[in-house]
Structure 1
Amino acid sequence: MVFRKLPKPMTMLKSLQTPSAIISAKETPNLIKPPTNYIVPLPSVSLSLTSQEQLLQFLKTYLKPPFTPHDLLNFLKKKLHYHPKFTQFDLHIFQWASEIDSFRHDHFTYEWMIKTLAITDRFNDLQSVLEGMISNPCPCSDGIFSCPRTEPIFRFVINSYCRSGRLAEALFAFENMRKLIDGKPSVVIYNILINGFVRSRQHEKALELYGRMLKDKVKPDVVTFNILISSNCRNSQFELALDVFKEMRIKGCNPNVVSFNTLIKGFLREKKFKEGISMAYEMLDLGCGFSSVTCEVLLDGLCREGRVLEACDLLIDFSRKGAVPDEFDFLNVIEGLCVKGKVDRALEMVDELWAKGKFPSPVACTTLIEGLRGAGKIEEAFTLMERMLKEEIVPDSVTYNCLLQALCNAGRTANANKLKILASKKGLEPDGATYNILVSGYSREGRRKEGEVLLEEMLDKGFIPDLASYNRLLDGLCDGKKFVIHQRTVRGG
């Protein structure tokens, strides 16, 4: 919901400077008369236009002149800000206070008002408050030094402008800040501005700001260099990104994991796989540990390029060096190996990583189980799922039932039932499909007694709707036993 901006109620509110003032709506301009062409979003969707008299009464109750900046701040934060009717008047009351001869805003009131306007995206109003702060600075600035809160306030403003893509206003605020503060701007503010231009795809402007930063003798930090490396990579200037990385090292700034991740991603984008892998090993040599993003960029990137065996070898080597973070999910490597028919290699990799305490995710495990089942390696799939369940890694019901079906088809219903019992203990309850698979398996194997036990469980859990269905399943067990006896007779058993 939006409302038209209210006119500044200076005339009406000035009369509150004397506690004895008696004000009526007829004696003052209409507070809620809207202008014709300016609308702003307000911080609450439940606001309604309020009468002038109600606002005046609210002010008389909680903010009687004379008051201090501390009094005004408490009123704005604790009374006005949470009031559903009057919160829309925060700026007007702030400006009204500015007109009182005995009152002067300090950095606390300026900061609260500026942050409130920025957070609610009232940037046109924010500009007017900034101008007021410049022309009427905080009392802390009356001495030879500027107010220590000036730079943090402007940093918040500049960051808000950059976040909203209002870069011209961000630069304007930056220039004004330079005139007000003592000394040079901090590297943090330069980083905010440079990153703002990078995000807006204004690469040249970002480089200009970096040059200005060096001219001002502000020492860049790792964040500065990371922003420039990323910007060069985005603009297909990978060689320049490498130059920035070298400059970073020359200036004595140690790269961090973000620096390396950005360059590795750039190498892979340029199809320079050998250089990307070398960069990863350089990370380890410098004592910069991998993040999960590092592994995703390098290993998943290699898999996307069809170099899945290379990714598998790297993953094992990184694991042996203790470099693989616990949160990295090697699903893509497993999936790539299975697609290429290298399920044995995938299983070896999982076994080695598992022995190092790097547990695969449930999805990674089930992907490998499906690959093993598709390759006819039922024993390996059974062993892996049993291991999963013992480690509290619960598969999805579809993969689980499919493996049970494969075991039953292979004449290993007892193993399938063993998995059913283990899965039940781990929270994966059997459904109707599970029981039907197992009953059918016992039926084919002629094991009526075990099948009847499952039928009783099905009946208790409501999976058999009526007696006819129960008898049909029981008859299936009997027929299955006769079929097995007949087969043994034919074979001379």
Structure 2
Amino acid sequence: MIPRSISTFTINLRTIHLFFIESTGHYCYHSIAPLNSCKKPDPLDLRNHKDWLSPTEAIKIFETLKDPNSTLNVLDQLSKRKDYKPTETLYTTVINNLSKVKNFDGVEQVMKRIKFEKSCRLSDEFFYNVMRVYGLGAGRINRVIETLLGMPGYGCWPTAKTFNFVLNLLVNTRNFDVIHEVYVSAGRLGVEIDVCCLNIMIKGLCKNGDVDAARQVFDEMPKQGCQPNVRTFSALLHGLCENNRVEEAFSLLTKMESEGVEPDTILMNILISGLRKNGRVEESIELFKTMLLKGCEPVTSTYQEVLYALLDSRKYTEAMKLIRKMSSKKMVPGFNSYKSIISGLCEENRADDIDLVLKQMIEDGFVPKLAMWKQMLQCIISENTSVDKLTLKINKICY
């Protein structure tokens, strides 16, 4: 039997030895404890963690990883532990980590692992996040569609929000050839078609140039128990205006107002732009005035469209007034608008007005290009003014 004094001495020395290891991270004495390595412990090696990790502690490991590239390695180590109990939150954290470093192949590996493990129930929100990663982060549209259509295989069915997200993504990325395939899958996915879904379909058909098909979807909406809203009318009006069917657009506007749907700023912008682009400049200006009377508050793009209309019709005095009004509302016209108005004023030899516009242009952060300076100087010189008067006008413009 070992004497008590020797045993106590050994235990105490071992305690001191272990304290030294924990405080310095180095091993320097090997005769008492069977130590296997002289390296610092790897913080990513889960064997250094305590015997039992709760789900919250496991998630914390991934949330605090300094290098998200190590996510798959840590997940592989975690999955070999007896206490491995993955949850939806854990999977989401892993996928978001991989998304941060654009490891989208790794995301696909995790999705395969999830399907194989079948260890927890997943919600629609989880798949919505995955599809955002695939679609908006990776641009892997096929994976988005596969994930949506494959949700029942995970024991989960999409909500209208998730279904409509996919439809809208397909429209915005102009994947028109697969939109109908996804749309008709609503029934077997348990998704009830709503107004938002039909609005997206109308927008997609209009973007694809099939306005007549969009009109058919619009006409069928009441039969599906859906009432068109201002977004519905905006999508269809935009399609009609883009295809030079302005008269139909205004007929639709009349129908909209008769059904008690109030136009908003977006819809009025569409009509003003549509009229201007179809050469109906005066009507676009009148519509803007009507918009103000209806209490529909214009935004920068509205003023910009009207400014273009005024410039198209060479109404430079009105254009100058509109620019001043925009400035009072902290709105800035585009550079091309200033370029057009200065060019027009020069053509009409309105040198006195040029300096007013030029000063406003500079206040809005724009600097005239060399060709504009030449045009302005030629306008001043063409007035046959004296040298003193010419110098005065140049100083007035520049300062």
Q: Provide the TM-score with structure 1 as the length reference.
A: 0.58
**Deviation of residue 61 (structure 1)?**
9.3
Decide which of 43, 54, 76 is 2:62's aligned counterpart: 76
Which residue does 2:3 correspond to in 1? none
Q: Does 1:302 align with 2:275?
A: yes
Q: TM-score, normalised by structure 2?
A: 0.69
Can you list the C-alpha shifts for 1:8-34, whole angstroms capped at 9, x where unaligned? Answer: xxxxxxxxxxxx996669xxxxxxxxx
For 1:178, the equivalent position in structure 2 comes to 152
Q: Contact 2:95–2:107 at 8 Å: present in 1 too?
A: yes
How many correspondences in the alignment? 358
Match of 2:82? 101
Contact 1:114 1:126 in 2 (8 A): yes
Structure 2 CA distance for partners of 1:106 and 1:385, relative to 1, 3 Å: closer
Partner of 2:143: 169
What CA distance in whole angstroms lies between the structure 1 residues aligned with 2:261 and 2:373?
A: 42
> Shift of residue 218 of structure 1?
2.1
CA deviations 1:96-135 (Å, max 9, x no partner) are 2111123322222122112222443433332332233234
2:198 to 208, 212, 225: 225
Quick one: percent identity of the two aligned structures?
A: 20
Deviation of 1:314 after TM superposition, in Å, equals 1.8
Partner of 1:375: 348
Q: Secondary structure of the residue that 1:328 maps to in structure 2?
A: helix
Aligned to 2:53: 67
Gap change, CA 1:237 and 1:190, over 3 Å in 2: same
What corresponds to 2:71 in structure 1? 90
- The one-letter amino acid of 2:217's match is V
Matched, 1:311 2:292: no
Per the alignment, residue 489 of structure 1 pairs with none
Aligned to 1:330, which of 284, 289, 303? Answer: 303
Letter in 1 for 2:237: I
1:62–1:75 contact (8 Å) kept in structure 2? no
3-state SS, counterpart of residue 56 of structure 1: coil
| Cα distance in 1 between the residues matched to 2:281 and 2:130 | 47
Is the radius of gyration larger for structure 1 or structure 2?
1
Partner of 1:16: none
Deviations 1:333-368 (A, max 9, x none): 434444444446656x849x959x878745557854
Amino acid at match of 2:164: N
Deviation at 1:237, TM superposition (A): 1.5
Sort the Cα spacing of 1:277 and 1:383 in 2 relative to 1 into closer, same or farther, 3 A.
farther
1:234 aligns with 2:200: no
1:306 is matched by which residue type in structure 2?
Answer: G
* Contact kept? 2:148, 2:163, Cα under 8 Å: no
Change (3 A) 1:354 1:71: closer
**Structure 2 unmatched ranges of 5 or more:** 1-32
The equivalent residue for 2:27 is: none
Q: Give the deviation of 1:294 after TM superposition.
A: 3.9
SS in 1 for 2:201: helix
Q: Tell me what 1:290 maps to.
A: 264
Alignment of 1:23-62 (within 5 A): 56=42, 59=45
CA distance in 1, matches of 2:364, 2:44: 60
Query: For the structure 1 residues 237 and 21, does the alpha-carbon distance in structure 2 shift closer, same or farther, using more than 3 Å as the test?
Result: farther
Instruction: Work out whether residues 230 and 241 of structure 1, in 8 Å CA contact, stay in contact via their aligned partners in 2.
Output: yes
Corresponding letter in the other structure for 1:75? I
Tell me if the contact between 1:409 and 1:441 (Cα under 8 Å) persists in the aligned partners. Answer: no
TM-superposed CA distance for 1:67, in Å, is 1.8
Q: Give the alignment of 1:180-195 within 5 angstroms.
A: 180-181=154-155, 184-195=157-168
Deviation at 1:240, TM superposition (A): 0.9
1:32-87 Cα distance to aligned partner (Å, 9 max, x none): xxxxxxxxxxxxxxxxxxxxx66736537973332222222212212xx224xxx4
- 2:217 maps to which of 239, 244, 253: 244
Preserved CA contact (<8 Å) 1:165 1:200: no
Q: Counterpart in 1 of 2:131?
A: 158
Once residues 21 and 239 of structure 1 are traced to their aligned partners in structure 2, the CA distance between those partners, rounded to angstroms, is 82
Deviation at 1:315, TM superposition (A): 1.8
Cα distance change of structure 1 residues 383 and 58 upon mapping to structure 2, 3 Å threshold: closer
Separation in structure 2 between the aligned mates of residue 400 and residue 272 of structure 1, nearest angstrom? 41
Q: Partner of 2:103 in structure 1?
A: 122
Structure 1, unpaired ranges of 5+: 1-19, 26-52, 142-146, 414-435, 443-450, 464-493
Change beyond 3 A, Cα 1:262–1:440: same
Q: CA RMSD of the aligned region, Å?
A: 4.6
Give the conservation status (yes or no) of the 8 Å contact 1:369–1:384: no
